[in-house]
Amino acid sequence: MIEIKDLHKSYKMGSNSLHVLKGINFKVEEGELVAIMGSSGSGKSTLLNILGMLDGADTGEYTLDGVPIKDLSETKAAQYRNKFLGFIFQSFNLINYKSALENVALPLYYQKVPRKERQEKAMQYLDRVGLKPWASHHPSELSGGQKQRVAIARAMAAEPKVLLADEPTGALDSKTSYEVMDLIQKINDEGNTILVVTHEEDIAHMCKRIVHLKDGVIVEDKKIEQVRAGQYV
């Protein structure tokens, strides 16, 4: 599903440049649930941004579902993001003046799905994350866990190939974190490919594979026994 070869990325910081990613080689099959771990500054967010086409790599190859991702125009990138990727952010990034339902429907709107169909579909996904009764609520009326679940529903709504989660539990207490991870695991069980960036060990162990990043290189890549989050909920 995802294939990366010899990926390099550096940032210019004034006169000296900061080499963040130093040759990443990495492959994700369909249906995997991968945790990308590392301390801050290890380059894990940069990697996720490049995977999410929010940022470009300096050198290296990136193929997503057989499509080479290279030198994209903003328009093309937006199109690919909409079609291939779903984002889940640490700070939820819901749009404040739109209701939960409208937030979930947003990616469908960009796909030009007709209004009625869009709302039906969005409602369906809200139901799947258990928030159907909150459909008309605005983000300010929801708890952190609920917000993240709306964000997950939004990420799923466009039926992307890959879900990218950047510290999805970073802003949540451990109980809600497990609830969110439980949801992510269930989505994965249905066959969706999910990448989770985290620095929390327990969250990482709820995935099926852990990739350790340190100073811009992969130091460890291992398959693990998945810990089900359901047992803590």
Q: How many CB atoms lie within 10 A of CB 117?
A: 11
Query: Which segment (89-97, 122-130, 137-145, 181-189) binds another protein by CB under 8 A?
Result: 89-97
Q: Is 233 in the site for another protein (CB under 8 A)?
A: no
Closest separation between CB of residue 86 and another protein, Å? 9
Lookup: tokens for 147: 């917000």
Contacts of 221 (CB under 8 A, 6+ apart): 26, 209, 210, 211, 212
Of 106-135, binders to another protein (CB under 8 A) are 106-107, 109-111, 115
Structure tokens at 145: 């866990």
Phi and psi angles of residue 112, each rounded to the nearest 5 degrees, phi first: 65, 35
The candidate with the shortest Cα–Cα distance to 38, out of 223, 228, 210, is 210
Cβ nearer to another protein, comparing 2 with 229: 2
Of 71, 74, 190, 225, which one interacts with another protein (CB under 8 A)? 74
Q: Is 83 in the site for another protein (CB under 8 A)?
A: yes
Helices (H), 26-73: 44-51
**Binding of another protein at residue 39 (CB under 8 A)?**
no
Which residues of the shown chain bind another protein in the complex (CB under 8 A)? Answer: 49, 52, 54-55, 74-75, 78-83, 87, 89, 91, 93-97, 106-107, 109-111, 115, 154, 158
